[in-house]
Chains A and B, each alone.
Chain A
Amino acid sequence: KAGVTQTPRYLIKTRGQQVTLSCSPISGHRSVSWYQQTPGQGLQFLFEYFSETQRNKGNFPGRFSGRQFSNSRSEMNVSTLELGDSALYLCASSLGQGSTLHRYTFGSGTRLTVV
């Protein structure tokens, strides 16, 4: 079956702009989580959506937002980009409940560079 698909793979934006990243989870998966990965901070949790509702949220400013659609596809948006937002953004999907709760399948990520 198809894996988690993230688009675009690479993105270059200018400070102050906004960006939208997309994630298509594995078919049947209802949970989508987003992570930011940087060399200095490692993997940091942004938020999780389950059945179109934000279920968990990390410690990121309000410039970072997300949503999930009825088909479980998810988007995250970052407004007023800062240089420090340059990172690999990873999306992960899972069934979202029961014994498989921690069994995430990650996408390959979107590499965002802010200049």
Chain B
Amino acid sequence: LAKTTQPISMDSYEGQEVNITCSHNNIATNDYITWYQQFPSQGPRFIIQGYKTKVTNEVASLFIPADRKSSTLSLPRVSLSDTAVYYCLVGPMDSSYKLIFGSGTRLLVRP
């Protein structure tokens, strides 16, 4: 299973764009990249998923370079409510795969 590495924490200010990078050097050909967000005392929430290039939805963008050894979650114009832990997960669309969460990145958005 591909192991992921993310920064432990990041600080930002309201209105700024935040980019969280996840390294997954051993990503396999059939692995997808998925990001979740978690607020305190709540379950994680699915944000975005991609395989290659760029994916965008109403919440975030996901940039994946050609070699797929890393990915960047981009949050445009963050607000205080974006303060949360963000998890990067990598794995195949295989029913035998167990969704494994790492330590995540704790994002703090300041006023």
Hey, which bits of chain A sit against chain B, CB under 8 A? 4, 33, 35, 42-43, 45, 48, 50, 55-56, 58, 88, 90-92, 96-99, 101-109, 111
Q: Give chain B nearest CB distance to A25 CB in angstroms.
A: 12
CB-based contact B99/A42 at 8 Å = no
Q: Contact at A88–B41, with CB atoms within 8 Å?
A: yes
> How big is the B interface, by class?
20 to 34
Neighbouring B residues of A105 by C-beta, 8 Å: 45-46
Q: From B42, which residue of chain A is reached at the shortest CB distance?
A: A108
The interface residues of chain B lying within 8 Å CB-to-CB of A50 are 95
Residues of B within 8 A of A (CB): 32, 34, 41-46, 49, 87, 89, 91, 93-104
Q: Is the interface of A mostly helix, strand, loop or mixed?
A: strand
Check if A102 sits within 8 Å of B95, measured CB to CB: no
Judging by beta carbons under 8 Å apart, are B95 and A43 in contact?
Answer: no
| Number of A-B residue pairs at CB separation under 8 A | 65
- In angstroms, Cα B45 to Cα A109, docked, is 13
Whether B43 lies near A33 (C-beta < 8 A) is no
A107 touches B93 (CB 8 A): no
Instruction: Check A55–B96 contact: CB distance below 8 A.
Output: yes
Q: Give the residues in chain A near B45, CB-CB below 8 Å.
A: 105-106
A58 contacts B43, CB within 8 Å? no
Q: Are B43 and A101 in contact (CB under 8 A)?
A: no
Q: In the complex where A109-B41, A109-B42 touch, is A103 in contact with B99 (Cβ < 8 A)?
A: no
Closest chain-A Cβ to B78's Cβ sits at a distance in Å of 22
**Closest B residue, CB atoms, query A103:** B46
CA distance A92 to B87 in the complex (A): 15
Whether B95 and A104, one on each chain, are in contact in the complex, defined by CB atoms closer than 8 angstroms, is no
A111 / chain B contacts, CB cutoff of 8 Å:
41
Verify B43–A90 contact, CB threshold 8 A.
yes
Residues in B neighbouring A58, C-beta threshold 8 A: 98
27 interchain pairs, CB-CB under 8 A:
A42-B101, A42-B104, A45-B98, A45-B99, A45-B101, A48-B98, A50-B95, A56-B96, A56-B97, A56-B98, A88-B41, A90-B43, A90-B44, A91-B43, A92-B43, A92-B99, A101-B93, A101-B94, A102-B32, A102-B93, A102-B99, A103-B34, A103-B46, A104-B46, A104-B99, A109-B41, A109-B42
